């Protein structure tokens, strides 16, 4: 069974304005997203994130390369049958109330009654929009409009959910509901593909991410892979270190708290020396590995490396 949800192969996109002016929005982008994962696309403004999403949705055509959703080429309308989409700036029908809007959207996606009404009611309740049922969308706040757009993307219970800046304008409580919803969606074997500038949210929810810059993907990995440092290793033990070991390792950074002690080493050789000393002293090692930083710190470092190149 093919477990690939989205596949992008050597996709480039050039926007042309006149004979001499052109913009390379995407440059030889290749990407594979699995079924049952939350995948985030990160990068500065103008990196090409939205262009890539629009190509996957058939809204923009690639200049070169190919892409597929659930094994259908994005040039085939069948690739969009099982997709829910939230654009970065959705334009919603201002005169409609939310239940009518969701039923209209569901009918366009082929959802029939009575399942459509049940699904609309469930989503309105889940995202705590029940008190807005009789309000036209023109009366919604920015955050409420965002939630309305998210419910629209979910109305047909798609296999793949594409979200462009889904947390923009949401308060902490709404972000929590969104996180729980996306995790539940993922746990049912479905796929979430999102763009976001809110790196803390991405770090909490995403399984993997790709970082884009200047139309290229410069790094892809799991959250653990993207946040691991290249030059610092850690050894963790329970409780405090014996005084004699602490003295021998006094030149290294040692952090204690919550019943754990972490020793940081600057190289593999130093890591092995720490491990040897701890074992010789009969200290049980809890785990070892690379030191991790926040996704935001890692993102800044990775994009800066590309600037330096």
Domains belonging to the chain, first-starting first, are: 4-221 (3.40.50.300), 226-308 (3.30.70.980)
CA distance 293 to 227: 5
Tell me the pTM. 0.85
User: For residue 108, how many other CB atoms are within 10 A of its CB?
Assistant: 11
Q: pLDDT by residue (tens digit) across 47-78? A: 999 999 999 999 999 999 999 999 999 999 99
End-to-end CA distance of the chain: 41
Q: Which residues contact residue 95 at a Cβ distance below 8 angstroms, ignoring those fewer than 6 apart?
A: 136, 137, 138
Report pLDDT for 22: 87
- Bond from prior residue into 71 cis (ω within 30 degrees of 0): no
Report pLDDT for 308: 57
Adjacency order of strands within the sheet including 208-213: 83-86, 160-164, 191-195, 38-42, 208-213, 216-222
Report pLDDT for 306: 63
Instruction: Name residue 236's beta-bridge partners.
Output: 262, 287
- How far is C-alpha 232 from the geometric centre of its chain's CA atoms? 26
Q: pLDDT by residue (tens digit) across 253-287? A: 898 888 889 998 988 899 999 999 999 989 989 98
CA distance 262 to 278: 12
Cβ atoms of 61 and 55 closer than 8 Å: yes
Q: Which residues contact residue 251 at a Cβ distance below 8 angstroms, ignoring those fewer than 6 apart?
A: none
Instruction: Name residue 273's beta-bridge partners.
Output: none
Report pLDDT for 55: 97
Cβ atoms of 58 and 93 closer than 8 Å: no
> What are residue 260's phi and psi, to 5 degrees?
-125, 150
């Amino acid at each position: 069974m093919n477990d690939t949800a989205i596949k992008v192969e050597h996709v480039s996109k050039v926007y042309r304005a006149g004979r001499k002016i052109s913009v390379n929005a995407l440059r030889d982008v290749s990407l594979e997203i699995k079924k049952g994962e939350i995948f985030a696309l990160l990068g500065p403004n103008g990196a090409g994130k939205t262009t890539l999403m629009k190509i996957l949705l058939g809204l923009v055509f690639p200049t070169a390369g190919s892409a597929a959703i659930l094994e259908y080429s994005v040039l085939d309308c069948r690739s969009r049958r099982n997709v829910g989409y939230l654009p970065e700036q959705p334009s919603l029908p201002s005169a409609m109330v939310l239940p009518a809007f969701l039923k209209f959207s569901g009918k366009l996606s082929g959802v029939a009654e009575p399942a459509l009404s049940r699904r609309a009611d469930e989503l309105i309740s889940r995202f705590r929009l029940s008190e807005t049922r009789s309000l036209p969308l023109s009366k919604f706040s920015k955050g409420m409009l965002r939630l309305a757009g998210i419910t629209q993307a979910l109305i047909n219970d798609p296999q793949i959910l594409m979200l462009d800046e889904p947390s923009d304008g949401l308060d902490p409580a709404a972000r929590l509901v969104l996180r729980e919803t996306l995790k539940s969606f993922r746990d049912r074997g479905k796929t979430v593909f999102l763009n976001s500038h809110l790196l803390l949210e991405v770090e909490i929810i995403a399984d993997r991410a790709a970082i884009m810059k200047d139309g290229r993907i410069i790094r892809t990995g799991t959250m653990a892979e993207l946040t691991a440092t290249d030059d610092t290793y850690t050894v963790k033990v329970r409780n405090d270190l014996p005084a004699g070991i602490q003295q021998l390792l006094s030149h290294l950074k040692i952090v204690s708290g919550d019943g754990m002690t972490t020793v940081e080493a600057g190289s593999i050789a130093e890591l092995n020396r720490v491990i040897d000393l701890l074992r010789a002293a009969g200290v049980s090692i809890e785990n070892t590995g690379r030191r991790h930083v926040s996704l935001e710190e890692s993102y800044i470092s990775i994009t800066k490396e590309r600037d330096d190149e």
